[in-house]
Amino acid sequence: MRNFKSKIALDLDGVIWDLVDPWVNSYNILYGDNIKTTDIKEYKLSNTLIKATSEELHNILLQKNFWNNVFPFPNAFEYLDKLNSEYDLYIATKTDYRIYEIKVNRVLKLFPFINPEQIICINNKSLLDVDWLVDDCADNLNGNYNKILLDASYNRSNHEFIRAKDLKEVYNIIKFMEMN
Ligand SMILES: [Mg+2]
């Protein structure tokens, strides 16, 4: 048994909470389309949500009220709490600085056991000095740490990394790997 806690960084969007569902809903309403989240097979949303430009899609996220419709994935609260109690936990998000404060406030509201000091705004996640990184974007899993890809319809073509379907599986994988 090790006498120090492993450092775990979790991505936020697509790992802890569902960003795609409210984003696609807002897009459908604003641009009169009828896209289902399961239609999205690529990480770059603008390739599927073709009635809006990339900039217009991004502008949806700049609306403060939008974030009231962003909610945790099932079991995310329970397993974020467990990971936070048992490990040295960080949330590492690649986020536009104009959205960062809104996101931090939303995290603190949804997960009162998280401190703002645990949340990191970072563009290049290879800079993180952690034992584990969990992300739904394979391109972000590019550093010197253990990697888990959070499963999503838009990353199924990637077979490079250990895959988890939710934070419960993330917890179980880390628990198992750290026992050995
Ligand atoms: Mg993400």
Q: Are residues 13 and 36 in the same domain?
A: no
Residue 20 Cα distances to 27, 40, 135, 160, angstroms: 10, 9, 14, 23
pLDDT band at 4 (very low <50, low <70, confident <90, very high): confident
Q: Are residues 113 and 82 in the same domain?
A: yes
Q: Are residues 128 and 142 in the same domain?
A: yes
In a domain, 125, yes or no: yes
The span from the CA of 7 to the CA of 87, in Å, is 6
Residue 171 Cα to ligand 1 midpoint, Å, equals 18
According to the model, what pLDDT value does residue 2 have? 57
Q: Are residues 171 and 145 in the same domain?
A: yes
Q: Are residues 166 and 128 in the same domain?
A: yes
Residue 126 Cα to ligand 1 midpoint, Å, equals 15
Residue 93 Cα to ligand 1 midpoint, Å, equals 7
According to the model, what pLDDT value does residue 1 have? 52
In a domain, 2, yes or no: no
According to the model, what pLDDT value does residue 16 have? 98
pLDDT in tens, 67-116: 999 999 999 999 999 999 999 999 999 999 999 999 999 999 999 999 99
CATH value at residue 125: 3.40.50.1000
According to the model, what pLDDT value does residue 43 have? 87
Provide the phi-psi class of 166: left if phi over 0, else alpha when psi is between -120 and 50, else beta: beta
Cβ atoms 126, 145 nearer than 8 A? no
Structural domain containing residue 50: 20-69
